[in-house]
Structure formats: structure tokens, C-alpha cells
Amino acid sequence: MSIHKIDIGGLVTPNNIFLAPLAGYTNAVFRDMCRRLGAGLTFTEMVSAKGLCYGSAGTRELLLNLPEYDGIKACQLFGSEEEYLRRAAQSEELAPFELIDINMGCPVPKIFKNGEGSALLADIPLAARLVRAVKESGKRVSVKFRTGITGDKLVTADFARAMEDAGADMITVHGRTRDKIYSGEVNYSEIARAKNAVKIPVIANGGVFTPADAQKLMDETGADGVMLARGAMYNPFLFAEITGRTDFDRRECIERQLDLTYRYYGDRFATVYMRKMIGFYVKGCAGAAQLRVRLLSSDTRGEIESLLSLIQL
């Protein structure tokens, strides 16, 4: 696996193994954990540009960064109106962020029907205008998109060129069409077409659950880096496996995540979130199946900590 730095319009990442924006999962504590485990770049959960402009409290919460986070700060916005994307990018709330990613790949029906996310694949001129609007902020801009809406109309190379021409400093290609959601084979050849169509960095996304998956994605596409999504959600230690990091203790990492999630997000959210996350992390451990059942009925931090102490990590 070729581990190397990526230059994103002058922002240089320590490596080319990135964490994808994951709605409901990539909060500030999880991003910090992945960074410590070797992620070269992490992104916030996707943030509504319009919600940010209207002062949504929930939207602002998505923009939290831990004081000790020492990586490039990157935010993902979604929307389909130039004015809101422009205002959001120039807002005080996004001042701490050095990189703004525009979501043009989300397949969720609510987002798609609103003309946002992957719906933008059908309107390349509008997608390009959104990039230009965000670029007015003076920040670096990246775009995450899919290969098309359906398999009979793939737009990967054309879309990639349009994003570069509009000023994007990096693109990430999820190698599936919108109709596949998160299932089906990753189309390596389409990601390769994007790579061959532009000069800016191209990050490949889709189907990475092991170091071998990451290697294959790089080999088959020629991409500059890979982005981990569900693979990292289920196993953030995958970053260490891919990058060769060994200077960490699994239990200490999980206990730190537990402590900080309760500290920054409160008991109710932290209990629901951490019992689910720990359930992912212990897969394959002795007694994991029974532990997950007990975790899902846990109502307090103490119960979660007691159950965690029973597992051999």
C-alpha cells in the first residue's frame, strides 16, 4: 500500500487514508479517535447549508471540534442553492474549517427529492456553480460524488472535469450509482476514468473493510488515496492496520471515546451511540454476540463500562 501525503490546494495531509463523512457517526470524538489511529483527513457529518444560514442549533452541534484535534479541519456541506452554499462557506461557524467538501453523492430519498446530494449528478452546470459559490469563501473545496444516478447514465469523467474546472481542489468518487445506495460492486473503472480526466487529487471510496480492500481499490483505480466509510464505522482500528500504526491500545481508545462522548454530547446521546459503537468494535471477540444483546439494553454509562470490562479486546 502506497502511503503518502496529499496536497489539497496547499493543505497537505499526513497520509492518503481518509475518513468519510457519515451522518450520525462522524462526530467530533469519533473523528479525533480516527485521527489518532492514523486517518490523514476526517470530515464532519454532512451539514445543511440552509440550516446553517438559518441558525439551526442542531446544525451547529455538528461543527464541534475537540480542542486537542490537530488535523486539518474539514466540513461537508449539502445543498442545491448557490446563495446558501456561499453564505454558509463564509459564515463565522465555518471559520475554523480549512476545507469544505460539497456532498453530491448522498442517495437518501429525502435529500435526493430535494434536488440535493446525488440529484446534482443530473445537473452538472448547477453543480459547478455551487463549487464556484463555495470557492468565493477563499477556502479549499472538495466534492464527493457518485458515478451516476443509474447504471445506464454514468457521468463520472464529465462530472470530475466540471468540478476541476469550477475550482475544486480535490474530488472523492464513490464507485457506485445512486440507485445502488451502499450495496453492489464498486465500479473501479469509473473511478479510474475520473482519475485520468483531472489533475487534482482523486480519492476512491467504496467497499473498504480490510487493508486488502484498500490496496485493491488503489491498484484498480490509480487513485491518489482511499476513503473509508462503513469500514471505519465498524472498525476504526482499520486506519492503524492500513497505515502500519502500532502505538495504541484498543481498550484505551474505546474508553477514551466513551469518556469524551459523555463529556461533550451528554448522557442520552452518549448511551445510545456508544452501546451501538462498542457493539461494532467487539465483533469477532469471544462472547461478543451475548455482549451486544446486553449492550443494547444498557441505560447508563456504568452498565456500558461494566460490560466492556468483560470482553477480551
154 shares its domain with 209: yes
Residue-wise pLDDT tens digits, 130-173: 999 999 999 999 999 999 999 889 999 999 999 999 999 999 99
At residue 4, what are phi and psi to the nearest 5 degrees?
-155, 165
51 shares its domain with 117: yes
Tell me the pLDDT of the chain averaged across its residues. 95
Angle at Cα 232 formed by Cα 12 and Cα 226, nearest 5°?
Answer: 45
Q: What is the dihedral of CA 216, 72, 142, 40, to 10 degrees?
A: 0
Report how far apart, in Å, the C-alpha atoms of 182 and of each of 105, 146, 163, 176, 227 are: 11, 11, 23, 8, 14
CATH number at residue 269: 1.10.1200
Buried b (16+ CB within 10 A) or exposed e, 114-123: eebbbbbbee
pLDDT range class, residue 272, cuts 50, 70, 90 = very high
pLDDT range class, residue 288, cuts 50, 70, 90 = confident
- Give the mean model confidence (pLDDT) for residues 189-198: 98
How is 237-300 classified by DSSP, letter by letter?
Answer: THHHHHHT-----HHHHHHHHHHHHHHHHHHHHHHHHHHHHHHHHTTTSTTHHHHHHHHHT--S
- Give the mean model confidence (pLDDT) for residues 64-90: 97
Run of H or E including 211: helix 211-221
The contacts found for 278-284 with CB under 8 angstroms, 24 or more apart, are 278/254, 278/304, 278/307, 278/308, 280/233, 280/234, 280/235, 281/234, 281/235, 281/236, 281/237, 281/250, 281/254, 281/313, 282/311, 282/313, 283/234, 283/235
152 shares its domain with 37: yes
**Per mean pLDDT, which range of 47-56, 162-171, 260-269 is the poorest?**
47-56
32 shares its domain with 144: yes
Give the pLDDT of residue 61: 84
Tell me the pTM.
0.95
44 shares its domain with 128: yes
Give the pLDDT of residue 134: 98
Give the pLDDT of residue 84: 97
Domain housing 87: 6-243
Residue-wise pLDDT tens digits, 171-181: 999 999 998 88
Nearest Cα to 252, choosing from 309, 295, 203, 168? 309
Nearest Cα to 103, choosing from 131, 84, 140, 69? 131
- Is residue 113 over pLDDT 80? yes
Answer yes or no: are the C-beta atoms of 267 and 251 closer than 8 Å. Answer: no
Give the pLDDT of residue 56: 80
- Give the mean model confidence (pLDDT) for residues 299-311: 90
Count of other CB atoms within 10 angstroms of residue 143: 29
User: Is 106 marked active-site?
Assistant: yes
Residue 1 lies in a domain: no
110 shares its domain with 16: yes
Residue 22 lies in a domain: yes
- Is residue 57 over pLDDT 90? no
Looking at per-residue confidence, does 307 or 226 come out higher? Answer: 226
Work out how many domains the chain is built from and give that number: 2
Maximum Cα–Cα distance for the chain, whole Å?
56
Give the pLDDT of residue 181: 83
- Is residue 210 over pLDDT 90? yes
- Is residue 55 over pLDDT 90? no
- Is residue 117 over pLDDT 80? yes
Give the pLDDT of residue 107: 94
Q: Find the catalytic residue in 53, 75, 106, 253.
A: 106
Residue indicated by cell numbers 480492500: 213
- Tell me what percent of the residues of the chain surpass a pLDDT of 90: 86
At residue 215, what are phi and psi to the nearest 5 degrees?
-60, -45
Residue 148 lies in a domain: yes
Final residue in a domain of this structure, among 192, 217, 243: 243
Count of other CB atoms within 10 angstroms of residue 182: 11
| Residues composing the chain | 313
114 shares its domain with 165: yes
- Is residue 1 over pLDDT 90? no
